[in-house]
């Protein structure tokens, strides 16, 4: 099985959302000028450990426990996670993307399913209402 090798490290914004590449590390997130300061402040406050700086955002958020205070922040921000799956259809493997809420993402992350974390989606209104 040949997997698609994609580098999801971009930062894209539209009128209502900020899309962060899930393969970007927290350290890279702090360097990008296109990342809104409030997102940098949230990651600095809730994911500020030195050992977490090199970890990808997708892995960092997927390893959270539902009991963690940081997970409550993720839910309050109403984050969405876009992931890719390989699905067998008529003898062919097809790459499909799906958007998950935080609970679904943690379930998929802890399961044995093969997936690829593509991006983390911030809602700008929720980001505006969130106080750090």
pLDDT tens track, the chain, 132 positions: 344 445 788 899 999 999 999 999 999 998 889 999 999 999 988 887 777 888 899 999 999 999 999 999 999 999 999 999 888 888 888 889 999 999 999 999 888 778 889 999 999 999 999 986
The sheet carrying 80-89 orders its strands as 11-13, 17-21, 115-123, 80-89, 92-100
* CATH number given to 11-129: 3.30.465.10
Rounded to the nearest angstrom, the gap between the alpha carbon of residue 7 and the centroid of all alpha carbons in its chain is 14
CA pseudo-torsion sign 57, 58, 60, 61:
positive
The dihedral region occupied by 78, where left means phi > 0, alpha psi between -120 and 50, and beta the remainder, is left
The model carries a pTM of 0.86
The tokens for 132 are 């750090």
Residue 31, by phi and psi: left (phi above 0), alpha (psi -120 to 50) or beta? alpha
């Amino acid at each position: 099985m040949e997997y698609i090798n994609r580098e999801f490290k971009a930062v894209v914004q539209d009128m209502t959302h900020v899309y962060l590449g899930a393969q970007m590390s927290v350290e890279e997130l702090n360097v990008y000028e296109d990342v809104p300061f409030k997102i940098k402040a949230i990651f600095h406050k809730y994911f500020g450990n030195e050992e977490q700086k090199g970890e990808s955002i997708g892995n960092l958020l997927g390893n959270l426990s539902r009991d963690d205070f940081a997970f409550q922040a993720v839910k309050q921000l109403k984050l969405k996670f876009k992931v890719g799956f390989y699905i067998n259809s008529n003898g062919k493997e097809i790459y499909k993307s799906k958007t998950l809420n935080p609970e679904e993402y943690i379930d998929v992350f802890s399961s044995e399913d093969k997936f690829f974390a593509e991006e983390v989606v911030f809602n700008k209104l929720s980001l505006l209402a969130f106080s750090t």
